[in-house]
Amino acid sequence: MNKWRLGAFLLGLTVLAVLTVYSGAGGVLKALETLSLVGFVIVVLMHLPTVLLLGAAWWFVGAEATGARPREFLVARIVRDAAAEVLPFSQVGGFVFGIRTLVLRGVGAARAAASMFVDLIVEFWAKIPYIVAGLWALLSFRRDTPLSRIMLIALLIALVAGSVPIVLRGRPWAGIVRLIARYAARWPELAAVSQSVDDTLGQILSRRSRLVLGFALHILLWFFGAAETWVILTLMGTRTSGTTALVIDSFVSALRTFTFLVPAAAGVQEASYVLSGALCGISPSTSLALSLTRRARDIVLGVPALMTWQILEARADRHRDGAATS
C-alpha cells in the first residue's frame, strides 16, 4: 500500500471514528442489538443469491473468450469482492485478485483481464438506470436537497465516463491495466496483460446477446441491493418504505463508484449512509449501524473466499516447485 492509499485509508478510519461519536455509540449498539444474531444470519443468507448471480453475470460476458466454467467465475468474483471489501485495498486490488483467481484456474491472464473489464463496463452501465431510479425516488418527496444535486452530478459523470469505452473502443482501460500491473508486481503474467488484452476485448464486446444478459442481471442485482437495505432497516426496527431504501442504497452505490481508489471505501460508505439516511428521516446511529452490518456481512462472506484463494495459491506453488524439481 503506497503512501497515498495509506493516507486515504487512515483518513477513512478517522471519518468512521468521528461518525461513531457524532451518531452516538450507544444508539449504534442498540440498533445492532435489535438486529440480533438471527437477523444478521438472515442478512448474510439474503446476500448469497447476489453473490451467485454476480459470478453468473461475469460468466455471461466472458465464457466464450475464456472457456471457463461458471464455477470459476463465481469463485473469482467472490475473491474479487472480498479483497476489495475485507482487505485494505482499493477496488483495483480486488480486480487483481479476481483476475489472479481465474489465472490459477487455467485462464490466460489477458483473457481473464479482458473479461473482467467488460464485466465492469456492463455493471457500470447497469448502475446508471439504478441511480436514475434513486434520483427520481428522491425527487418524488424531496426536490431541492443537496443529495439530489449530488446524485444528479454523479449521474452526469457516470454517463460521460460510461461513454468513453464505447467511443474509444476500450483503450481507456490501459490506465486500469497499468494500475493492475503495479498491484500485481509479484505475478509477471498479470503485469503483461496490456500486450494482448485489446483483441480479446473486441471478441467479448462482439457477443451482444451475452452483454445484454449480463446487463439485465446487473440491473436486477442493483435493485435487489435496495431490497436488502429495506430488510436490514426493518430488522433493526426502523419502519421505512421501499422508496426510501432505494434512495439510500442508490446514493451509497453512486458515491462509492467515484471513490473506488479509497481502500475498502473506509469512511466513504459510512458517511454516505449517514448523509442519505438523514435526508430520509433515519437517525445517524441507525444509518451507521446499517453500514457496519453491511461490512460485517462482507467479512463473513469474504474471509472464506480469501482462504479459498490462499489454497489455490498454495496448490499453484506446489505445482511450480514440483515442475522445477522434475
> Could you list the pLDDT tens digit for every one of the 326 residues in the chain?
556 555 555 555 566 666 666 666 788 888 889 999 999 999 999 999 999 999 999 999 888 878 889 999 999 999 999 988 887 766 777 888 888 889 888 888 878 888 888 898 899 889 888 988 888 888 777 666 666 666 667 666 666 655 555 544 445 555 555 555 555 555 565 555 555 666 677 777 777 888 999 999 999 999 999 999 999 999 999 989 999 999 999 988 887 777 666 666 667 788 888 888 888 888 888 988 999 999 899 999 999 998 988 888 888 777 665 655 55
Residue 148 domain-assigned (yes or no): yes
Residue 241 domain-assigned (yes or no): yes
Q: Which of 219, 285, 217, 226 is nearest to 251 (CA)?
A: 226
On whether the CB atoms of residues 82 and 303 are closer than 8 A, the answer is yes
Residue 28 domain-assigned (yes or no): no
Q: CA 129 to CA 2: how far, in whole Å? A: 35
Cell numbers found for residue 42 = 438472515
pLDDT of residue 87: 78
On whether the CB atoms of residues 47 and 224 are closer than 8 A, the answer is no
Which amino acid, one-letter code, is at 182?
R
Other CB atoms within 10 A of residue 272 CB: 24
Residue 191 domain-assigned (yes or no): yes
Residue 162 domain-assigned (yes or no): yes
Burial class (CB in 10 A: 0-12, 13-18, 19+), 3: exposed
pLDDT of residue 314: 84
Residue 30 domain-assigned (yes or no): no
Residue 275 domain-assigned (yes or no): yes
Residue 29 domain-assigned (yes or no): no
Which residue's C-alpha cell is 439485465? 216
pLDDT of residue 206: 75
Which structural domain range is residue 156 located in? 3-18+40-320
Q: How many domains does the chain have?
A: 1
Other CB atoms within 10 A of residue 208 CB: 8
Taking the model in full, what pTM does it have?
A: 0.81
